[in-house]
Amino acid sequence: MKVIVLGAGVIGVTTAYQLARAGHQVTVVDRQPAAALETSFANAGEVSFGYCSPWAAPGIPAKAMKWLFMEHAPLILRPKLDRAMLSWMARMLSNCTSARYALNKSRMLRLADYSRVSLAALREETGIAYDERMQGTLQLFRTPQQLEASAKDVKALAADGVPYEVLDPAGCVRAEPALAHVREKIVGGLLTPADETGDCFKFTQALTARAETLGVTFQWNTKIERLEAEGGAIRAVITDRGRMTADAVVVALGSYSPLLVAPLGISLPVYPVKGYSLTIPITRPERAPESTVMDETYKIAITRLGDRIRVGGMAEISGYTNDLAPARRRTLEHSVSDLFPGGDLAKASFWSGLRPMTPDGTPVIGPTKVAGLFLNTGHGTLGWTMSTGSARVIADLVSGKAPEIDARDLAISRY
């Protein structure tokens, strides 16, 4: 079939690659001049198959109130008269129950584990290099309360067969030797050894080149204006460079996906939650992480990417704004300098991106009520982690095949 993929972030590019492998004629459309220049550009670098949890969790409403008054808060709320924002927040709060958390985490772990297998297969098939490491994620606890609260995650990991280790401070230092000089700040950790790290931008750029060898066409610098449907089926994509027809269209536009599909009567509960990152040159390798350390206090990931440290995190609910708030930079600097003072902060690059979040944390992958129109969006903080599995699921669905995992509860029909 002739398939148009809208969006050239890591989700769109992996989707295009898998569709081309399935034998389809694929065109990718993006407003940027190249791949992965928005949310996929400088994310935290985690490929977190085990450290994979919904933001909506029991106790989050109470924590959120406390965070609002913290200097280095993991959550920043800038409320405005925005119906989409208020509706999304209400739905997220409704998912902050033990039952909903367990259900949503199980969905996420299913897709993440499939992505683990899919990424390994793709890496073997293509030989792509992207500063990858396979040394796990260490969730670091600074308080006994944090360690105790991790029990719900341990239970979910065990139920889904995901490898994990609960570590004491000495175990944390064995996993990440550079933590030895701050051992007194640590009460324990949760290690998910199957997790990986890597530069999402490098990966997406390299996979774009591979996709082109399979015949995928990339139409850059093209603004997507609207979708055209007739008789309950998708007919075309209207851009500022003309009308493009297709047998199927996959919307992989991240936070902008709901804006495009709304005129077709599709209510997609995806809202932008801004994250920030610093990319820091390593000057003292012995004081740098080996893999990813998640600082649970600030919800900040500190990741080794070759000769750089990527520090990423925070959740700012402020709409479609991409300004760089100096206070957010100070929080990133505080976390990394407190644990790993092995980089040159004066030479750090500061970045922000809009993560496409659903209220339950689970992405929306599958068909819509408009025949031929598919969604692959809403991955939140886990787009890099879930990209390869999501791409295989959507490629199978577009091809009329049953995916290799149960994907029925990932579709928009769950809402």
The annotated binding site for FAD is made up of 3-17
Token readout for 321 is 């704004």
| Neighbouring residues of 174: CB distance < 8 A, sequence distance ≥ 6 | 167
Q: What is the DSSP string of 129-195?
A: -SS-B-S-EEEEESSHHHHHHTHHHHHHHHHTT---EEE-HHHHHHHSGGGGGGGGG--EEEEETT-
Question: From CA 272, how far away is CA 106, in angstroms rounded?
Answer: 23
104 residue type, one letter: N
Tokens of 219: 């139409």
Return binding residues: 3-17
Q: How many CB atoms lie within 10 A of CB 304?
A: 25
Per the CB < 8 A criterion, the answer to whether 320 and 354 are in contact is yes
Determine the residue type at 29: V
- Tracing tokens 């740098």 back to the chain, one arrives at 288
| Residue 116 region by backbone torsions, left for phi larger than 0, else alpha for psi between -120 and 50, else beta | alpha
Nearest to 217 by CA among 11, 35, 10, 43: 35
DSSP string spanning 113-147? Answer: HHHHHHHHHHHHHH---SS-B-S-EEEEESSHHHH
Question: Which H or E run includes 355?
Answer: strand 349-357
The half-sphere exposure of 301 on its side-chain side, counting CA atoms within 13 A, is 29
